[in-house]
Amino acid sequence: MIYGEVFISPDHAAAAGLSYASYVAGLAAGIERVRAETGVEGRMIVVGIRHFGEEAVEKAARIMVEEPHPLVTGFGLVGDERQGRVQDFARAFTLAWEAGYGLTAHAGEFGGPESVVDVLDNLAVTRIGHGVRAIEDPSLVARLAEEGTALEVCPGSNISLGLYADFSTHPIGRLRRGHHQFR
């Protein structure tokens, strides 16, 4: 089975003049059509946009919880990871976690390995968006492996944003080998 997830933003929907319910319903119709035609499964992860601030992120979590949809399965934090303190977003993550949603947050792209640790220590996520700079701290790579925390790695993004010069210098291979390489 092929499975994919899309990040969706209530803030971007509102900016386009769409209600959250209409936005999710339209995306769900597309996901269901693709499943019927191809067998590909899809789900949605609602995201709060970090640089929009703590209140906006909490509002995104609240609307997701108050207007549930069966194809919305997670909540995440995206945007400029240099903005705000991770703990400022904890209330939004608690709302989502208590409602049974999976949790992810961007860290370790522009922020160093300490940004990954900060998310792990404060948001109870099971996945980290990007996380590539974890490679700079062998004990963090070991922690990620031991805790079973997945990294949502996107080499194309990391290269286009200038974190790595090209695919040959990108650490995805070393990250896949995990903590075993440091023993």
State the catalytic residues: 109
What does the alpha-carbon distance between residue 2 and residue 38 come to, in Å, rounded to a whole number?
A: 9
Cα 121–chain centre separation: 16
Contact 17, 33 (CB under 8 A): no
What does the alpha-carbon distance between residue 85 and residue 103 come to, in Å, rounded to a whole number?
A: 17
- Buried/exposed code over 29-59 (b: 16+ C-beta within 10 A; e: otherwise): eebeeeeeeeeeebbbbbbbbbebebebbbb
Question: 22: buried, middle or exposed (CB in 10 Å: 19+, 13-18, 0-12)?
Answer: exposed
Contact 85, 70 (CB under 8 A): no
The backbone region for 142, taken as left when phi is positive above 0, alpha when psi lies in -120 to 50, beta otherwise, is alpha
